[in-house]
A and B are shown apart, each in its own frame.
Chain A
Amino acid sequence: MKSSELRGTGEVFRFTLIQTVKSKAYIVSAIFMLVVALLAAPVMQLIKGSGEKKELEETAIETVHICNGLTFVDNASAITDMTGKKAFSKVKFEEMPLNLPGDLLEMASTMSLEEIAAAYREADEANYKKISEQLEGQGSKCKDVILHTYMNEERGITVEVVRVAGSDVNDDECQELLSKVCENLDEYKIKISGLSEDDLKILDYNYTVEMNYLGADGTISAEEDTGIGSGQFGVAYALMFIVAMVCIMSGTQVASAVVTDKSSRVVELLLTSVRPMALLFGKILAMLVATVGQYVVLVLAMVCSNKLTEVLFHTEASYLTSLIPTGILSNLTIVNALISLALIVLGLVFYATLAGICGAMVSKMEELQEALKYFTFTSIIGMYMGIGAIIYMQKSSTGPFVRFCEVFPLSSPMVTPGARIIGVVPITYALIAIALLLVLDFLLIRFAAGVYEGLITNMGNRLTFKDVIAMARNKSKGGAK
């Protein structure tokens, strides 16, 4: 392809971009996406609240009546220590004494554990019934709650807080009480088990599983289990989804613009000034800029909205920020960003060129869907391979299927950028993916250069893939001048 064949690309690019951006469909979709992006952070914040737990300042609870049915907790004060919970400093904790049978202690040595537990349960239930009736009698003015702890084989330890319906005590206060009691219970269990600080550290240790291979040269190579976590999965999947959407959207728009030129017969006039390849490239660039621009604006709007939400809601991290796991983007260096960008751009060029060729195969807008089947089929293969690879990465990010998808040109623009950013693709694989995409883009552009002229000037019936191949063969034989 000679450089003179690209003369006029800039003009085609500018005109196509301006007309696309001025179109009602583009403006409406951009406004819709912008509104969604701007509202996402504040709305989520309002619905879900802050990612960080805000400490309760005061509580309406006056008295907590404790019904302790846990046999291993002798004294309920061990689990109702409210140190560090300022809101509960003035709250009274009253333990309901268990009304156990008088001869239980004497007969304990002759009773089975089940019998003892049943006696405790009976006394606890009686306690609970008594106090709940008492609170119920006070009606909605009652500011007391019941803290009921008990245990059974099915549910394990149950900690519940009961309040009178319609009272001033709210859910947040009860939740705060419950979480502190559970925390105390954990500490109490460790304490009565007799474990030391060192024992606890050992219990806290994580496992790292390695499979090592002894090579022929005597070296030991380690193959780590590199399955990705849910946060990494989220980032890789989101990026893959965005790239796939941009590929499909911009490709469809390129095809549609090509068919518009043909169906409106403007192409004949244009071809007196520019070569067909300049028309194709101008359109591809314009549609890529229009589509990518829409997403860039969307992301920027989301970031601004998120920052604004954090300021307005006086929180360090909004709910949206709290969804992104800390340190997940630590691999997002300039080099990795450039590698990812190169992969995405090359992928977009591939899919847009393919769509342009498909669009040039028809002369009427109503035939476009039929012609786009080759593009749709190819992009769906790429997308499903991408989804499969990212799902498989949760199990292992080094499996052969994952590695294949990372370098295979149909799926690499969708999988590899995200995978590189979360740090699961070695740089060699990323570079191989770029090289393969470069080769594929070069071949496709050469193919397009050979057939596009014939396709764009064909105003007749829809051409098939067979016709396009025949055109390319004819060109390679030098049949046409």
Chain B
Amino acid sequence: MSFEVRELVKSYGEKTVVNGLSFKMDGPGVYALLGTNGAGKTTSIRMILGMLKRDSGEVLWNGTEMQPEKMNIGYLAEERGLYPKYTLLDQLLYFAKLKGVPKHKAMEKIKYWSKRLQLDEYIFPTRRVKVKGALKKSNDPADDGYRTVPAKSMRAEQLSKGNQQKVQLMAALLSDPEFVILDEPMSGLDPVNTDLFKEVIRDEISKDKYVIMSSHQMPTIEEFCSDITIMNRGNVVLQGNLNEIKKSYGRVNLFVKCEQPIDEYIRAAGLTVIEETPAETQLRVTGEEQAMAFLNTLITNKITVIRFDLREPSLHEIFVEKVGAGNEEQ
């Protein structure tokens, strides 16, 4: 199976919000769509899902035009949505039904996910009631005459934002979709829930699913995605395999920490300081040779080197560089 987007274009009046987006997934995996706010990521996702009509371009699934309404797609939208006044259980059953999941199966899935995402107390809450009549109290001395009975599922408006986000992830994955789109899945989550989400996403990836992820959190993208597209103002500014992109930049980031001041040696070597913090100094080098020459200089001058780390640029740096350049060009 393969998924391909070809020359996707969308304009609103004079403004082109997506200009010729193309990418391909030859097999299961995670593809990242990156970009600043307003870069056209969400518009592209909406076009892929058939929510928005495209001006031109193609979205292909297995080489033929993709029909989202006939596929099993899980979508976690950037603009989160739940009916505030309806109960969580009613909504989840409704979303599952729309995906063609039978009620009993949907119920099983909801129970599974509510446990996994720690939402049991909201979706299947219980309450203590005093038992009346003959069954009032057993001989057990620990029996206080109360029983725990199921209560009405809570309404979405009664949940915190983070918990609502978990319910939405649950809604996206209820039908066990083959194609998953996660638009900013971790935004606004606390570290504990971020880890919970990551674990769920890892599981989905392990099931050989096609996942498209859009995020501003670069470490998350680096953790999950093999291929990326960086968009800026509707245009693709960088695209390809993340490792290869990084490799193409070479190891040009040098992180140094020494006991003595090294400013004069940096100046003498003609290196550019990218960032200077109490913990380390980040320098830009042309390659390994220049880095080694700098290290020799430090050792020759009896400078105590605590850290000397030569690395490829991070995705964050590549992103800032590419998007920054794009903005300057604009």
Name which of B26-34, B95-103, B194-202, B308-316 contacts chain A: B95-103
Q: Is there an interface contact between B94 and A265, defined as CB atoms closer than 8 Å?
A: no
Shortest distance between the CB of B105 and any CB in chain A (Å): 15
Q: Which residues of B are found within 8 Å of A275, using beta-carbon distances?
A: 69
Shortest distance between the CB of B71 and any CB in chain A (Å): 9
B171 within 8 A of A: yes
Q: Which residues of A are found within 8 Å of B79, using beta-carbon distances?
A: 265, 268, 459
Q: Which residues of A are found within 8 Å of B54, using beta-carbon distances?
A: 480-481
Q: Which residues of A are found within 8 Å of B73, using beta-carbon distances?
A: 272
Within 8 A of B (CB), among A401-455: 453-454
A266 within 8 A of B: yes
B81 within 8 A of A: yes
Q: Is there an interface contact between B75 and A266, defined as CB atoms closer than 8 Å?
A: no
**Contact of B97 (CB < 8 Å), options: A11, A265, A268, A454:** A11
A275's nearest neighbour on chain B, judged by CB, is B69
Q: How far is the CA of A453 from the CA of B51 in the complex (A)?
A: 7
Q: Is there an interface contact between A272 and B49, defined as CB atoms closer than 8 Å?
A: yes
Q: How far is the CA of A480 from the CA of B77 in the complex (A)?
A: 23
Name which of B83-91, B140-148, B204-212, B255-263 contacts chain A: B83-91
B70's nearest neighbour on chain A, judged by CB, is A4
Q: Is there an interface contact between A480 and B53, defined as CB atoms closer than 8 Å?
A: yes
B81's nearest neighbour on chain A, judged by CB, is A265
B177's nearest neighbour on chain A, judged by CB, is A272
Q: Which residues of B are found within 8 Å of A267, using beta-carbon distances?
A: 81
Q: Which residues of B are found within 8 Å of A454, using beta-carbon distances?
A: 53
**Contact of A273 (CB < 8 Å), options: B80, B86, B99:** B99
**Contact of B95 (CB < 8 Å), options: A23, A269, A481:** A269
Q: Is there an interface contact between A265 and B80, defined as CB atoms closer than 8 Å?
A: yes
Shortest distance between the CB of A280 and any CB in chain B (Å): 15
Count B-side interface residues using an 8 Å CB cutoff.
33
Shortest distance between the CB of A132 and any CB in chain B (Å): 72
Instruction: Encode contact with B along A1-28: 1 for CB under 8 Å, 0 otherwise.
Output: 0001001100110010011000100000
**Contact of B51 (CB < 8 Å), options: A19, A23, A266, A268:** A268
Q: How far is the CA of A272 from the CA of B95 in the complex (A)?
A: 10
B13's nearest neighbour on chain A, judged by CB, is A470
Q: Is there an interface contact between A19 and B86, defined as CB atoms closer than 8 Å?
A: yes
A453's nearest neighbour on chain B, judged by CB, is B53
**Contact of A481 (CB < 8 Å), options: B56, B74, B84:** B56
B68 within 8 A of A: yes
**Contact of B69 (CB < 8 Å), options: A273, A459, A480:** A273
Q: Which residues of B are found within 8 Å of A273, using beta-carbon distances?
A: 69, 95, 98-99
Shortest distance between the CB of B221 and any CB in chain A (Å): 22
A107 within 8 A of B: no
Shortest distance between the CB of A462 and any CB in chain B (Å): 16
Q: How far is the CA of A481 from the CA of B52 in the complex (A)?
A: 9
Q: How far is the CA of A264 from the CA of B168 in the complex (A)?
A: 12
A323 within 8 A of B: no
**Contact of B81 (CB < 8 Å), options: A23, A269, A453:** A269
Q: How far is the CA of A269 from the CA of B81 in the complex (A)?
A: 7
A264-B81, A265-B81 as given contacts; A457 in contact with B98, CB under 8 Å: no
Q: How far is the CA of A270 from the CA of B81 in the complex (A)?
A: 10
Q: Which residues of A are found within 8 Å of B90, using beta-carbon distances?
A: 15, 18-19
A23's nearest neighbour on chain B, judged by CB, is B85
Q: How far is the CA of A267 from the CA of B54 in the complex (A)?
A: 19
B98's nearest neighbour on chain A, judged by CB, is A273
B179's nearest neighbour on chain A, judged by CB, is A272
Q: Is there an interface contact between B86 and A8, defined as CB atoms closer than 8 Å?
A: no
Shortest distance between the CB of B80 and any CB in chain A (Å): 6
Shortest distance between the CB of B100 and any CB in chain A (Å): 8
Q: How far is the CA of A480 from the CA of B171 in the complex (A)?
A: 30
Q: How far is the CA of A272 from the CA of B94 in the complex (A)?
A: 13
Shortest distance between the CB of B292 and any CB in chain A (Å): 53
A73 within 8 A of B: no
A235 within 8 A of B: no
A479 within 8 A of B: yes
Q: Which residues of A are found within 8 Å of B56, using beta-carbon distances?
A: 481
* Chain B CB within 10 Å, residue with most, of A8, A479, A481: A481
A271 within 8 A of B: yes
Q: How far is the CA of A273 from the CA of B96 in the complex (A)?
A: 9
B66 within 8 A of A: no
Which 10 pairs show the lowest CB-CB distances between chains A and B? A265-B81, A273-B98, A480-B53, A266-B81, A268-B77, A265-B79, A272-B75, A15-B94, A271-B51, A11-B97
Query: With contacts A269-B81, A272-B73, A275-B69 known, what are 7 further pairs, Cβ within 8 A?
Result: A8-B69, A15-B97, A271-B50, A273-B99, A274-B98, A479-B55, A481-B53
- Chain A positions within 8 Å of B, measured between CB atoms, are 4, 7-8, 11-12, 15, 18-19, 23, 260, 264-275, 453-454, 457, 459, 479-481
- Chain B positions within 8 Å of A, measured between CB atoms, are 46, 49-56, 68-70, 73-75, 77, 79-86, 90, 94-95, 97-99, 168, 171-172
What are 9 inter-chain pairs, A to B, with CB distance below 8 A?
A4-B69, A260-B83, A267-B81, A269-B75, A273-B69, A274-B69, A480-B53, A481-B53, A481-B54
